[in-house]
Structures are given as C-alpha cells and as structure tokens.
Amino acid sequence: MLNISKSVLNKTVDLSHYGAMKRVSQRKHYKRFNQFLIAFAIILVIILFLPWTQNVSGKGFLTTLTPDQRPQTIQSPIPGRIEQWYVREGDFVEKGDTILHISEIKNEYFDPDLVARTGQQIKAKEMSVTSYEGKVKALNTQIGALATERSLKLEQARNKLLQAKLMVQSDSIDLEAAKTNILIAQRQFDRTTQLESEGLKAVTDVEEKRLKLQETQAKLISQENKLLSSKNKVINAQVEITRVQAEYTDKISKARSDKFTAQSSQFDSEAQVTKLENQFTNYSIRNAMYYIKAPQSGYINRAIQGGLGETFKEGDRLVGIMPAIYDMAVETYVEPIDLPLLHIGEKVRIQFDGWPAIIFSGWPNVSYGTYGGTVVAIETFISDNGKYRILLAPDPDDHPWPTDIRVGSGANTIALLEDVPIWFELWRQLNGFPPNYYQPNTEVANAKKK
C-alpha cells in the first residue's frame, strides 16, 4: 500500500478487474498536463536566454520644440474694461488681427482728446522756447553793442586824458616862461630905479617898469591857476575813464544776467517740451493698446476674461492662443538614477495617448504604435517633481508622428540601451540595479561637438 517493499504490486496482483483501477488507469489527461508543464518549462528556459533591450522609461506630454511656438496667453499692459469682442473661441486669427477692444478706467486718461491737447501743449512750449531763443539773441546783440560803446567811450576818455596831460605840459612851460618874465621885469625895475636915483632915468620910466613888473606877476599867478586847472582836467579825465568802465560793466553784467535768465527759461522750456513729447508718445502708444491684437497667427483657445464691461488689471490674462505653425516635441521626465544614461542625439521610442500600442519595451521590433524620437535637450537642474526634464524631437530616420496629436496630450517614452539576456534583466530588476552604463559611439559624440 505504501510501496515500502521493493515488490511491485501491479506486477504480482492483477488489478484490472477492479473498477477503481480501470477508472484511474484509463485517464490520459494527467499525462498530457505533465507533458505541457515540461514543454512550458523548456520554453521558459529558452525565453530566459532571448535578447532583451534595456531601457529607461518616462512619462511626459506633448509640447513644441521652441518656446515661441507654445500655447500662450495674451495680456494687457494697461488696466481697462472690455468693450467689444471680435473673435470667438476656436477662431483662426492672423498676426495683427484685432481680438477685442478695451476702454480706459483711470481718470487721468479719460479725455478722448488727450493726445491732441498734449500736442497743442508741445507746440505752445516750442513757441516759448523760440521766444527765449530770440531773447537770448537780442541780449547777445545788446551785450555786443554795449561792449563796442564802452570801447569807444573809453577811447574818448583816454583822448581827453591825453589832451589834459598835454595841456598840463603846455601850461607848465608857460609857467616857466612867466617866471622868467618876472625875473626879467624885476631886474629891469631894479635897474631903472637905480638909474632914476642917479638922475639918469625919469620917474615916469620907473613907474612904467613897476607897472610892467606887476603885470608880469599877475601873469605868473594866472599861469599857475591855469596849470592847476589843467591838472584838475587830467584828474577828471582819469575819473571819467573809471566811471565809463564801471557804468558799462554794470550794463553788460545786467544784460548777461538777463541772458542767463532767458537761457535758463529756455532750457526749462526745452525740458518741458521733451517731457510733453514723451507723454505724447506714451499717450499715442496707450491709445493703440486699446485694441488687443494677435501677436502671431493661431487659434483662439479660450477667453479667460469674458463678457462686456468686465474690468481687469495690467498684466491680467485675457485670452489664450495656440500658434498655427509649430514643431511638435515631447517633454518627458526621467529618474535621477537614469539621467547619466541619456545623451543628446539618443534614440527614444514614444507611445502617444490615443494611439494604443502592444508594447514590449525590450523587443522594439515587435512593438506597434510607437514612434521614434531624438533627445535634443536635457535639463541641468532637477524639476519640482524630483525628476529631470528631457525634450524629444521627431526622429528624421523614423516614420513621421501622427498628424492628429495635440499639444498637452500625454506620452510614454522608452529610451533603448544595451541588449542583454532576459535572465540578466530579471536579475537586475530583482536587485534594483540601474541599466548598464554606456557612452554614445564616436560618431554621435563628434556630431555633438560639431
């Protein structure tokens, strides 16, 4: 019963006439099942030695290759109120088409003729600048005339001074002559008086000589007065020169002061003109901002600010637009442990949401619905989700991506690495080891350098 003995029961005892034995011995499916298990084990062992391509997988979404092709929102640089919409969601707009019209909400810009009136202020200030320029020119002319007149007056005063000095010299000579005359008259009078005492001259002659002496003395006194008068004229001429210099210096200084005042007012007016021109340009540009226009051709995705009469602040998003022409790309994220395995130019397989695929990541030749991609950018700083961002572009050597995919939809990526046996990959996965590290071949490295 327990087969403890070496004797075989079915060889010594006939069991064929027993019903239970008949039911057991006549069933073949147990034998078939054992054969299936043996065949499955053999196939499983063979599969373990099949090649398996190591990979780095990641999840991401569709985006565009360059930043200017990505979906964007249009903001208003000024606060305002929505007055009229010219588009609907889903409409296609060309670059420069008007999307909506806004109005002003700040009271300092309410005047509809603000630009025209600012222009009038500019013209008035420009005329003021012209007037000050004319005044400066007139004062320059006046200063020149005063300088010329001062030169003439000084020349005239110097001539008078020279005349007075010459007159002093003349009077000095006349004074010396008068002194000589009085000496001669005195000697003649003394001689005549002596001769009269000797009886040689009459008294009349003495009186005549006395009279002549007195006349000579009178001329001497007169000549002395004349000389003093000439010296006074010299002093007066010198005083006149000083007076002329002081007078015209004061006049010229006053004219220059008026000139500098006019120039200061001119420069102030020019500064105000520049400020008004700046305001005029700002107002003109601000008026053009009342019409929000499309920065590039594309489709209106969504009106973020809706309705009419709704107010918003500067920088608020008004409407979203998707560019009409863009180069598709995939933005995916990989774990930091896998980052050293990826390089620029690396080939990547991509499976898009909406395009189901039977994917065997280690057997890319029997995967369907995947598309080729190439690594074009690797982020150098970790993202907020704890992974590194990788940007993929379509592989030009692979079949093109579907035309109906849209920016923002999901995508799964698989970067293919080395070929290893399946048993090695299972062992690596069980132990948590990273894929085998490798460097790109020389051709890819040279292409990177170029």
Homologous superfamily (CATH) of 50-69+326-449 is Efflux pump adaptor protein, beta barrel domain (2.40.30.170)
User: What is the distance between the alpha carbons of residues 210 and 364, in angstroms, rounded to a whole number?
Assistant: 160
**Domain residue extents for the chain:** 50-69+326-449, 72-104+290-323, 114-288
User: What is the distance between the alpha carbons of residues 71 and 296, in angstroms, rounded to a whole number?
Assistant: 11
Q: How is 308-331 classified by DSSP, letter by letter?
A: SS-EE-TT-EEEEEEESS--EEEE
Mean pLDDT in residue range 112-131: 90
User: What is the distance between the alpha carbons of residues 437 and 345, in angstroms, rounded to a whole number?
Assistant: 16
User: What is the distance between the alpha carbons of residues 443 and 67, in angstroms, rounded to a whole number?
Assistant: 29
Give the phi and the psi of residue 335 in degrees, each rounded to 5. -70, 150
- Residue found by looking up tokens 């000797």 in the block: 198
Q: Which residue has the higher pLDDT, 186 or 433?
A: 186
Residues 6+ apart with CB under 8 A from 84: 100, 101, 308
User: What six digits make up the tokens of 39?
Assistant: 């065949």
**pLDDT band per the 50, 70, 90 thresholds, residue 213:** confident
* Beta pairing, strands 388-394 & 410-421: unpaired
User: What is the distance between the alpha carbons of residues 49 and 51, in angstroms, rounded to a whole number?
Assistant: 6
**pLDDT band per the 50, 70, 90 thresholds, residue 329:** very high
Cα angle: 33, vertex 36, 39; to 5 degrees? 155
- Whether 282 and 38 have beta carbons less than 8 Å apart is answered as no
Give residue-wise pLDDT tens across range 45-69. Answer: 888 888 877 778 888 999 998 888 8
- Using a 10 angstrom Cβ sphere, with 0-12 exposed, 13-18 middle and 19 or more buried, the burial of residue 4 is exposed
* DSSP assignment letter at 200: S
User: What six digits make up the tokens of 65?
Assistant: 């290759």
Sheet holding 80-85, edge to edge: 291-293, 98-103, 80-85, 311-312
- Residue found by looking up tokens 């799964």 in the block: 412
Sheet holding 92-93, edge to edge: 72-75, 317-323, 298-303, 92-93
Examine the pLDDT at 447 and tell me if it is beyond 60.
no
Amino acid in the structure at residue 48: L
Q: How far is CA 425 from CA 202, 340, 430, in A?
A: 174, 19, 9
Task: From 234, 217, 230, select the one nearest 182 (Cα to Cα).
Answer: 217
pLDDT at residue 193, as a whole number? 80
Q: Which residue has the higher pLDDT, 422 or 428?
A: 422
Examine the pLDDT at 393 and tell me if it is beyond 80.
yes
Mean pLDDT in residue range 250-270: 91
Give residue-wise pLDDT tens across range 170-197. Answer: 888 887 888 888 888 788 777 778 777 7
pLDDT at residue 450, as a whole number? 44
CATH of domain 114-288: 1.10.287.2610
pLDDT at residue 10, as a whole number? 58
pLDDT at residue 336, as a whole number? 85
29-48 and 422-431 are packed helices; what angle lies between their axes, rounded to 10 degrees? 80
The reported pTM is: 0.58
- Whether 55 and 360 have beta carbons less than 8 Å apart is answered as no
Secondary structure class of 397 (helix, strand, coil): coil
Q: How is 118-172 classified by DSSP, letter by letter?
A: HHHHHHHHHHHHHHHHHHHHHHHHHHHHHHHHHHHHHHHHHHHHHHHHHHHHHHH
Same fold, 50-69+326-449 and 72-104+290-323: no
Examine the pLDDT at 444 and tell me if it is beyond 50.
no
User: What is the distance between the alpha carbons of residues 154 and 150, in angstroms, rounded to a whole number?
Assistant: 6
Mean pLDDT in residue range 157-179: 84
- Whether 350 and 392 have beta carbons less than 8 Å apart is answered as yes
What share of the chain in percent tops pLDDT 70? 85
User: What is the distance between the alpha carbons of residues 273 and 278, in angstroms, rounded to a whole number?
Assistant: 8
User: What is the distance between the alpha carbons of residues 114 and 356, in angstroms, rounded to a whole number?
Assistant: 62
User: What is the distance between the alpha carbons of residues 36 and 429, in angstroms, rounded to a whole number?
Assistant: 28
pLDDT at residue 359, as a whole number? 56
Examine the pLDDT at 44 and tell me if it is beyond 60.
yes
Examine the pLDDT at 101 and tell me if it is beyond 90.
yes
- Residue found by looking up tokens 């007139």 in the block: 138
pLDDT at residue 5, as a whole number? 58
CATH of domain 72-104+290-323: 2.40.50.100
